[in-house]
Amino acid sequence: MERSLRVLVVDPHEVVLLGFEALLAGSGWVERVLTASSGDSARAVAARDEPHVAVVDLAIGEESGPALSGDLQRVSPTTQVLFMSGTGWISPRAARAAGGCGFVSKDQPAAEIVAAIQAVGSGRTVFAAAPEAPRSALTPRERQVLGLLAGGDTNREIAERLHLSAHTVKEHTSGLYRKLGVRNRAEAVQRAERLGLTA
């Protein structure tokens, strides 16, 4: 691609910003790498430098990445937005509704993320596949238990809320762990959030 791009990376974590700077600095098609760790700084940088591509995390502190996308495009109408996340996912439909041209996961190989940035900068759309579904669907009761787990309830509290025995709750948690392919409560909650099961 002939066009040189100014790329703005918006993420609340310094290590991510430094990583993108290092990753993109050697690319011949990158004119400049801009970074912002907050919505306010992202809006200021976008207004000043008019980046061709803004790589925006789905959550910037208390701000929503999709909401910030609209602000960036108001101050820099030619900016194309590529959403990213390490823990979440946004559907192509929702991303487009928020003005985005794509989504990448931080779990993807670096070369794929760089290629996605270049593609969005050239006017294409790039959407990472949705997280794979559980091996088999959760039952309504397992989803109830999962929701309470995500809320921080103990097995005993879940049993009281759902009027179940502790043994039955343990069976439900074991079942949902198996279906989600996880080993413990923390992994179950994280995996469920990625799959949109706790929404």
More confident site: 185 or 163 = 163
Residues of the chain with pLDDT > 90, as a percent, come to 58
- 147-166 pLDDT, tens per residue? 898 888 999 999 999 999 99
Instruction: Report the C-alpha gap between 115 and 131 in whole angstroms.
Output: 20
- 40-84 pLDDT, tens per residue? 999 999 999 999 999 999 989 888 899 999 999 999 999 999 999
Contact call for residues 28 and 3 (beta carbons, < 8 A): no
**Domains recognised in the chain with CATH numbers:** 5-127 (3.40.50.2300), 140-195 (1.10.10.10)
Please list the residues that pair with 47 across neighbouring strands.
none
List alpha helices for 50-199, DSSP H.
65-75, 92-97, 110-121, 140-150, 155-162, 166-180, 185-195
AA letter at 179: K
pTM: 0.68
Does residue 1 carry a pLDDT above 50? no
Closest to 108 in 3D by CA, of 80, 82, 72, 135: 82
AA letter at 153: D
